């Protein structure tokens, strides 16, 4: 099953308000259809935040997988 870019972007839109509250954001970089891994880039304050891995796993990844269950993992890239 193909990962739907539009659904992933919509899921990221639902996360953005929370990130922007702290001066951050997230950008979709790549969708690997074979491995079902989505790569994102944390921006603004999220990029250097010591809690960015927790934000990625407990926030962004959980929400994306909840909305697009075929995603296997979300990874942050620089």
Report how far residue 15's alpha carbon sits from residue 27's, in angstroms, rounded to the nearest whole number.
11
pLDDT at 64: 97
pTM (2 decimals)?
A: 0.92
Please tell me the CATH code under which domain 5-76 is placed: 3.30.300.130
pLDDT at 30: 98
Q: Could you state, in order of their start, the residue ranges of all structural domains in the chain?
A: 5-76
CA angle, 25 then 27 then 29, to 5° = 160
pLDDT at 38: 98
Q: Which tens digits make up the pLDDT trace of 1-49?
A: 789 999 999 999 999 999 999 999 999 999 999 999 999 999 999 998 9
Q: Report residue 13 as tokens.
A: 């839109």
pLDDT at 18: 94
Residue corresponding to tokens 């870019």: 5
- Residue 78 pLDDT exceeds 90: no
């Amino acid at each position: 099953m193909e990962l739907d870019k539009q659904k992933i972007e919509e899921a990221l839109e639902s996360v953005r308000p929370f990130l922007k509250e702290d001066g951050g954001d997230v950008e979709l970089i790549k969708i690997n259809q074979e491995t079902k891994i989505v790569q994102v880039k944390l921006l603004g304050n999220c990029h250097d935040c010591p809690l960015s891995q927790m934000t990625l796993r407990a926030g962004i990844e959980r929400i994306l997988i909840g909305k697009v269950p075929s995603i296997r993992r979300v990874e942050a890239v620089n």
